[in-house]
Structure 1
């Protein structure tokens, strides 16, 4: 088998056709084949019946062929037919074959002349045929008839294009001679997908029905609308002959006499007729298979590689074997644990470059969202000072206090610490939601087993909620611990002695209340904190409208450039006295917007009081806010004003005013310590009590809880969709392996028959200096129009085929054809 000659290529491709029929239409369309294309009543069916020598195709008016018919002709000693959907049944009566085609067509399309792209596979063995594979397609129609769909024209066109657009498909364009060739639907479709005419073979039918005094000589000599592979004329039986049951062998004899006796065709009678067409198709299909088989092998191998892993998994699962079910359950839970850990901890394999994974999103919550939520705690400076004032007065009572009471400091600090419960609780909620989303992403891979997926989701979600509750209790306990004891001996606490000195040395931008209150150290002014694209969205249309710029944020300024090359700077905005606030998203806008404004009511940019900057996503917005926070630009009503005292209470007692200022600065210093502690402990607490615990539960306890349900066999029941998908994958995998095995039996290195030379197209490019070279024996071909005389180095052609052409070569060239054909590549 490994040294098989090329003459057996077509039978082997027929085996591929049968093998891949279980794969689906998409794969079988890549097989080398010949598609028969033509209008209604163009004579397609008659040509195919002439090949077989029998009447076996449905006939009638309108669309008769309503499903593609894959016709495999195989030379054999006996004559019978086989359908792929009736395996093992031989049809020796060809009338029965016609009835079976009609029955199978109606089974899918009904009786309303509708069409279906699902093919019918018919194999015919006969001593009268050459090995050939053709696809008979529905005739091209224009107007729906009866109860046909209104878009029947487009349905037929789409079905035809599915076949002929493949490079592996030769196109047999059938056109009746009694119509204008320029209006041929078949040639037009072929021209759309094969503009060079490399894959198209023209067949001209009904030559005997042309008007008196007219002929198709110019067409058959390939001079009117030239094709690389030329045209072949045939004469089929008329409707009267068919109704009169005229024998096809008699019709073939009549066809031969017609060409020999017709004045316009007798010089080319040897290259016309159904027998010659069948030989040419056999020869050209064989060569085409040889040329396209390597690419087809690569196509099958790529499909097989894509299915290997999935098919291996399905092959190990036997729904009727309890042991296999248990083993599959164990593997699925183990894979779930590995996938969850990779999404949380990060992994270098199969990196998602489109979306952030669970671990990356949680990291963003840790280091961007949570610090920003702390900053967003509204601290009304006027209200805070009033509270300090009242606390001092209430502690002194009727007496006039000489010293600043530390009890007022402790009362205010405890109140500020209690306010941390809101951001901390929101922090836990955000992480919990990301954990549940990540678990769902992993559990969705269990969709093949709906009950297993549902139970796993219920168990893991319950576990997350349980750990969330424990984590929430622990976080509230941390806040209670901070409330239990105010440590004024902390090494970072400014203390009463240094409070006045620290306050006097503060500046407008980085007063201790700001830098310390949020636990954010001011970065160096030389450090670039962030770069990225932002859109300035509040510029009017008259001034250019919204524009996107490249922004650079440093510790001292916010600059923007025309593009990311950073050559053309548009503006540099100092960060002094700047704050930011959220801007509500517009109804029709897809952008996420925040605004920057000046606390002293100065213009921020040109004549604009604020600068509205837009991002493409919420993640990008949160990241920019966190970066501005690092640069010292805080949300509205968080940072104190330039003097650090907002709109102060009207004091009449200078001593009381001094005491309020002292406690205010002590509160800022101590809360700086609290913020730093909370920012450090919160991610650690959540990581320990939630994330690591859930990860450990999935890897070590989930399987035990699934077993504890006592329904392991029920858990592993497949959904009907999954059962069908598994069967399809395994069938497709087996078919692809068998197809590659079939191709492996073919050796393209040995040829027992010489390859036919390509159609002579040198006349199409008169400027070409390289004549086509002939390999092997000369083969009789259709005449091409005259061409300039050029040297010829090939073998001498036989007089029967080229006498007329040789005489024409000795004369001057004739006029140029009416339509220039497309450029043809040189043939080696």
Structure 2
């Protein structure tokens, strides 16, 4: 059943949070392999303060040891709830050249670990990260998914990407640099991805690699928000330029800028808690000569969380109708392609059916050849002017006209008999010529029919059991292609069921 493409369909969801949960369910079943889903991705250089920002938003102290910095995408699914519960799991990745996003994430269920409190998260992430490193994946496309519900958490889903790097250590693979860039570009290029570009305030922000990449992927700046970190490290005298940037006066972007001051490395070393860090941030912006003049909605982690929730909700609201449309379109294409490929030739019935099709096709092709050959001989025997091959009245009249009966005077009965005799003689003269032409042609037709029967017999004689087996042997590529399409259809059908079960139907009228 085709999902109705109705822009008011999702108005029946009880809240924006229901829409976010729906998107998370669609992502969980793997729909993002084939259809882009709305999301928020956090990107920046390795030293941009990205991890501290995510820690402040989620309440989780992410691993910061040099050997265990972010090495793969980490998705955070946060939900506000009365009590805490959560889990961490690993989602494997493989390249899919036929998908719209170029990616294929599938949940193997391995390494799924339940969480009892926020304090369990760092250890679980470290364990999975170490597993990837032990596998030789210094940078991995596999994804760690952290799903948490708790009283201090916002209703927000976002994905943290490995930081862009310019140099590698002595014993590290140089391919890390292009691999991270390719990963970041893959996320940036998706039109339904909101880009959080994290840039430190103590560098030339206009020339940072992450902002340049974001501008290439999002030239109009409609889906990029720049989060400016480390504002406490801005050089004296440079504050006004940063202040104007935060007010979106320079390098304008539709979603604008936001300033934060997360825990510094010194505070992390001292063991400053996330809560204390947020308290210090509020005090800093409230007292600073320049930053206190900023509108309150443009600074602070708490305000940023609220902005991101709104941005994600708007993105989901705009994208869901298009997602439904793409599900229907891609499902129709996949079903048509599977129908063209046909069923696997594994069962005896399928093999008989295929042999029957080949036999019918062979007969039809041979019959076409036979008809073409006969038509060619007919055209040679009967040129277009008289191709009908029949005795025409014109021919008879011409023959009659050439007959003279002299000056005899006959009775009416004799005259009629003579005229009939002459007419019959004329008809026989013309018909005999036609018959002489037809007889060789008939013989040629019989010879052609005999030739094609012999050719058909010889063709069938070579179709031994071995040959038939070879013909019925399906290529690995064809079988893999069918299985890929069946997997795609299965996922798209699941997505339809998830949507239909998530969207309440209107009450019937009685």
With normalisation by structure 1, the TM-score equals 0.44
In structure 2, the residue matched to 1:73 is 78
The within-5 A match list for 1:714-725 is none
Structure 1 gaps of 5+ residues are 320-324, 346-358, 372-518, 525-672, 751-828
Residue 14 of structure 1 pairs with residue 21 of structure 2: no
Q: Distance in 1 between matches of 2:371 and 2:184?
A: 54
Q: Distance in 2 between matches of 1:717 and 1:677?
A: 43
The within-5 A match list for 1:43-62 is 43-60=49-66
Q: 1:161: Cα distance to partner?
A: 1.7
Q: Distance in 1 between matches of 2:15 and 2:458?
A: 65
Out of 254, 260, 268, the position equivalent to 1:234 is: 260
Out of 204, 207, 222, the position equivalent to 1:198 is: 222
Q: Distance in 1 between matches of 2:77 and 2:211?
A: 24
In structure 2, the residue matched to 1:127 is 151
Residue 260 of structure 1 pairs with residue 293 of structure 2: no
In structure 2, the residue matched to 1:90 is 114
Q: 1:735: Cα distance to partner?
A: 1.9
Residues 1:300 and 1:341: Cα distance change in structure 2 (over 3 Å): farther
Residues 1:684 and 1:229: Cα distance change in structure 2 (over 3 Å): same
Structure 2 gaps of 5+ residues are 1-9, 91-108, 386-437
In structure 1, the residue matched to 2:38 is 32
The answer to which structure has the higher helix fraction is 2
Per-residue CA shift, 1:458-480, capped at 9, x if unaligned? xxxxxxxxxxxxxxxxxxxxxxx
Q: 1:236: Cα distance to partner?
A: 1.4
In structure 1, the residue matched to 2:354 is 332
Out of 481, 493, 496, the position equivalent to 1:737 is: 493
Per-residue CA shift, 1:343-373, capped at 9, x if unaligned? 777xxxxxxxxxxxxx7xx799969xx99xx
Q: Distance in 2 between matches of 1:147 and 1:684?
A: 78
Residues 1:99 and 1:326: Cα distance change in structure 2 (over 3 Å): same
Residues 1:341 and 1:293: Cα distance change in structure 2 (over 3 Å): farther
Q: Distance in 1 between matches of 2:370 and 2:151?
A: 76
Q: How many residues align?
A: 417
- Report if aligned partners of 2:87, 2:112 keep a CA contact under 8 Å in 1: no
Per-residue CA shift, 1:290-309, capped at 9, x if unaligned? 10111111222222223335
Q: 1:722: Cα distance to partner?
A: 7.1
The within-5 A match list for 1:266-345 is 266-267=292-293, 268-308=295-335, 325-337=347-359
Residues 1:313 and 1:5: Cα distance change in structure 2 (over 3 Å): farther
- Report if aligned partners of 1:39, 1:175 keep a CA contact under 8 Å in 2: yes
The within-5 A match list for 1:388-787 is 684-691=449-456, 728-745=484-501
Residues 1:314 and 1:343: Cα distance change in structure 2 (over 3 Å): closer
Q: Distance in 2 between matches of 1:309 and 1:694?
A: 37
Residues 1:129 and 1:333: Cα distance change in structure 2 (over 3 Å): farther
With normalisation by structure 2, the TM-score equals 0.69
Q: 1:269: Cα distance to partner?
A: 3.0
Q: 1:332: Cα distance to partner?
A: 3.5
Q: 1:193: Cα distance to partner?
A: 1.5
Q: 1:124: Cα distance to partner?
A: 2.5
Q: Distance in 1 between matches of 2:326 and 2:458?
A: 44
Q: Distance in 1 between matches of 2:442 and 2:471?
A: 47
- Report if aligned partners of 1:4, 1:745 keep a CA contact under 8 Å in 2: no
Q: 1:136: Cα distance to partner?
A: 1.5
Per-residue CA shift, 1:491-510, capped at 9, x if unaligned? xxxxxxxxxxxxxxxxxxxx
Residue 245 of structure 1 pairs with residue 255 of structure 2: no
- Report if aligned partners of 1:234, 1:272 keep a CA contact under 8 Å in 2: yes
CA RMSD of aligned residues (A): 4.4
- Report if aligned partners of 2:125, 2:144 keep a CA contact under 8 Å in 1: no
- Report if aligned partners of 1:222, 1:231 keep a CA contact under 8 Å in 2: yes
Q: Distance in 1 between matches of 2:127 and 2:371?
A: 67
Q: Which of the pair has the greater relative contact order for Cα pairs under 8 Å at 6+ separation?
A: 2
